[in-house]
């Protein structure tokens, strides 16, 4: 009893809608026949005349009869799988083709505590099987962190965040999110400290120019106020 096993010698990843060239592992000096199988089914066959393409490979493929290379145009998810070439009746190493869709542009959803002391950032996107394994990570100014969710607090120093997706054939970044816990300028407390003296000076100037003819007691109070102020 003889068992025939077919092992993938190499794999190639391709973006849906693009073109890919599948090559045999060896080249013959003179090729007289070529057969490519997709799984157990025929994909292409040539033995000296016109090449015959089958099923999902019709009108999408071309075959180089000098090298044995099979080109698939407008690659679709159904082209995914194992390909086995046979050159001059000799079976060659199998090629594993993996077809992926491009990753979508992700969005950042942030949920913050009412006290604005902590936020949870979530990288949101539609995950589908044709994306394959998607790597999700965060770009925080000049460093990276992996994961779909990111926790930030008042101690987080970074000012801006991006969520990034990556699969074997594509990558995409979200729009920039400014740190929702970062004031980015003068705090309210410091602003009040700055405005109070300005307001007091304004009151003093108003008293000087508009109340010179008030009773002596009022002028006295005014002068005391100005001395306290300056």
Q: Are 135 and 148 in contact (CB under 8 A)?
A: no
At 186 the pLDDT is: 42
The region of weakest confidence among 59-63, 129-133, 151-155, 194-198 is 194-198
d(CA 121, CA 134): 18
Summarised one tens digit per residue, pLDDT across range 82-122 is 999 999 999 999 999 999 999 999 999 999 988 889 999 99
Backbone angles phi, psi at 55, to 5 degrees: 50, -120
For residues 180-187, give the mean pLDDT: 63
pTM attached to this predicted model: 0.69
If one counts every other C-beta atom within 10 angstroms of the C-beta of residue 53, the result is 21
For all residues of the chain together, what is the average pLDDT? Answer: 84
Summarised one tens digit per residue, pLDDT across range 114-168 is 888 999 999 999 999 999 999 999 999 888 999 999 999 999 999 999 999 999 9
Q: Are 123 and 174 in contact (CB under 8 A)?
A: yes
pLDDT at residue 173 greater than cutoff 80: yes
pLDDT at residue 2 greater than cutoff 50: no
């Amino acid at each position: 009893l003889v068992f025939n096993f077919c092992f993938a010698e190499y794999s190639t990843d391709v973006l849906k809608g693009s073109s890919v060239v599948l090559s045999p592992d060896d080249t013959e000096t003179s090729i007289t026949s070529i057969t490519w199988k997709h799984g157990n089914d025929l994909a292409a066959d040539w033995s000296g005349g016109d090449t015959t393409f089958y099923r999902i490979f019709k009108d999408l493929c071309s075959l180089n009869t000098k090298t044995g290379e099979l080109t698939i145009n407008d690659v679709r998810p159904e082209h995914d799988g194992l390909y086995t070439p046979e050159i001059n009746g000799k079976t060659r190493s199998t090629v594993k083709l993996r077809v992926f869709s491009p990753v979508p542009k992700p969005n950042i959803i942030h949920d913050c505590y009412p006290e604005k002391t902590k936020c949870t950032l979530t990288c949101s996107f539609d995950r589908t099987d044709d994306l394959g394994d998607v790597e999700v990570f965060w770009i925080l100014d000049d460093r990276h962190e992996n994961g779909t969710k990111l926790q930030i607090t008042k101690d987080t120093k970074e000012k801006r965040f991006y969520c990034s997706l990556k699969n074997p054939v594509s990558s995409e970044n979200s729009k920039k999110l400014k740190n929702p816990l970062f004031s980015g300028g003068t705090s309210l407390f410091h602003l009040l400290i700055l405005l109070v003296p300005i307001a007091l000076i304004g009151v003093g100037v108003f008293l000087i120019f508009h109340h010179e003819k008030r009773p002596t007691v009022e002028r006295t109070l005014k002068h005391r106020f100005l001395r306290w102020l300056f």
